[in-house]
Structure 1
């Protein structure tokens, strides 16, 4: 994971600091406005990974939070307090009590559009076992990026809102067979594979087919489980939708994340 923020005002770019069960964070930028979506890493690790992508935390304009689970929120409070960052989150996410004091706190109302400087954000309610989870559709100019992870099942609302994106960060959490035969206890298998857990590779492919592929320039497989998935299985599930052409597909990994991707 290395590089600098792509230049060019109004060009929508994104990168992953890392994605998986041990920590998630995504950068989104239009060249002038820089957002960090979630921070599931320690303060020091988040700072290190941001530096690898060419940003100091004080260059961030806002920190958006999808939900309170530790792999998405662990570093939110420490990063916001150390660097004076405004944090946007739903009241339900805040009431989880997991973030500590947030001096610059802004409420997100699901389905209510808001803007941070040059970026327009649509927070979207999703089925996941958190208090008030959302995912985001982010727009700059004529380009839009869908961030769609931590999704128990592809609801009709999700399909409607995320159709027609130019880029998509899509959860491919587990391979159903690996989950069934893997080391998790039965209760955790039911939680992960249930309607309020995480998307299987096959569900991700089903959803992608219904969102439409015509405009999609970049599709990033994300939130892959260390124990219940492999990158090649996630790609294998999605490639047939692209007539065997994997050039639009990337994988965001836990350790290396994913370098900057720009939507033209």
Structure 2
């Protein structure tokens, strides 16, 4: 199985997951051209994509969806409420109804040889989900855009070989930054985004000996720094009540505007 971030950040998100025979995208929140260029960088084209899985309808997750789905007739998998919200987003353009395939949290489905299991997340969107993938004994998850987590979240993310997890903001940078008060409160709220500290705390609860890679994603351009996210998450692991240390696991920060390292597992 393989996983790779084509783009990840507050300005746009697109993640590739696949096997030798199956290729899917999680979100298409950058332009269709940038998605195409990213796919070319990993040896694929839009014609190779079997499905686009949408987490929620915010524009940084669907900006290129209309262009890609119409051009190649790519099936779109998302919750019914999210599909309705996408169809009401004028900037995406009209997408043929038959391309939408409804999914529900905790109801697994297959795309060729890849099993996909959506999970509930807490975000201010119509009906947002994260996605877990299984192929044989390999497991991965993409989990961003969650203002908080609970025991359910922890259970969903246990046992992964590779985990892409949100580390959106540094709380102090956000609080002293230029964002208006209402936006700061939204980001900090339970339906907003996961801070570096909370990302590290959540990660500390799902660590296990066979975890092969952690990718920190959806970093805010204004309220975070890659080095700060990396060091804060490692520090939270060191402080946590578990046998692990921050240096025990390979952690990378997904790049905002370019393709990150392809992870094979």
Q: Normalised by the shorter chain, which TM-score bucket?
A: over 0.9
| TM-fit CA distance, 1:246 | 6.7
User: Secondary structure in 2 aligned to 1:111?
Assistant: coil
CA distance in 2, matches of 1:257, 1:149: 18
2:241 is aligned to: none
Output one character per residue of 1:2-23: Cα deviation in whole Å (capped at 9) or x when no partner.
xxxxxxxxxx111111101111
**Paired position in structure 1 for 2:196:** 201
The 1-side partners of 2:264 and 2:247 are apart by 19
SS in 2 for 1:22: coil
- Asked if 2 retains the 8 angstrom alpha-carbon contact of 1:62 and 1:86, the reply is yes
With 79-88 and 207-216 compared, the bigger mean Cα shift is at 207-216
Unaligned runs of 5+ in 1: 1-11
Q: Are positions 1:101 and 2:90 aligned together?
A: no
Q: Distance in 2 between matches of 1:161 and 1:231?
A: 26
The aligned counterpart of 1:211 is: 206
Q: TM-score, normalised by structure 2?
A: 0.92
The CA deviation string for residues 106-156 of structure 1, in whole angstroms up to 9 with x for no partner, is 111121110101110110011000001000110111010011100110122
Q: TM-score, normalised to structure 1's length? A: 0.92
1:193-233: CA deviation from partner (whole Å, max 9, x where unpaired): 11000000000011011112322100001001000000111
1:255 alignment partner in structure 2: 257
Per-residue CA deviation, residues 21-56 of structure 1 (Å, 9 max, x unaligned), is 111000001111001110001122211121112110
SS in structure 1 of the partner of residue 40 of structure 2 = helix
Distance in structure 2 (CA, Å) of the matches to 1:156 and 1:195: 15
Distance in 2 (alpha carbons) for counterparts of 1:245 and 1:160:
23
Matched with 1:44 is: 33
- Equivalents in 1 of 2:156, 2:65: separation in Å? 27
Using the alignment, how far apart are the partners of 2:249 and 2:105 within structure 1?
Answer: 34
Aligned to 1:142: 137
State how far apart, in whole Å, the 2-side matches of 1:197 and 1:50 are.
Answer: 29
Count matched residues. Answer: 252
**Corresponding residue for residue 54 of structure 1:** 43
Q: How does 1:150-165 map to 2 (within 5 A)?
A: 150-165=145-160
User: Superposition pairs for residues 159-174 of structure 1, below 5 Å?
Assistant: 159-174=154-169
Q: Retained in 1: the 8 A contact 2:8–2:256? A: yes
Q: Which residue of 2 aligns with 1:17?
A: 6
Structure 1 residues 243 and 107, CA, compared in 2 at 3 Å: closer, same or farther? Answer: same
Matched, 1:75 2:53: no
Deviation at 1:79, TM superposition (A): 0.3
Q: What is the rounded CA distance, in whole Å, between the counterparts of 2:21 and 2:259 in structure 1? A: 22
List 4+ stretches of structure 1 deviating above 4 A: none
Superposition CA RMSD, Å: 1.3
- How many angstroms apart in 1 are the aligned matches of 2:49 and 2:145? 24
CA contact (8 A) 2:211 2:249 kept: no
Q: Which residue of 2 aligns with 1:234?
A: 229
**Structure whose residues are more often helix by fraction:** 2
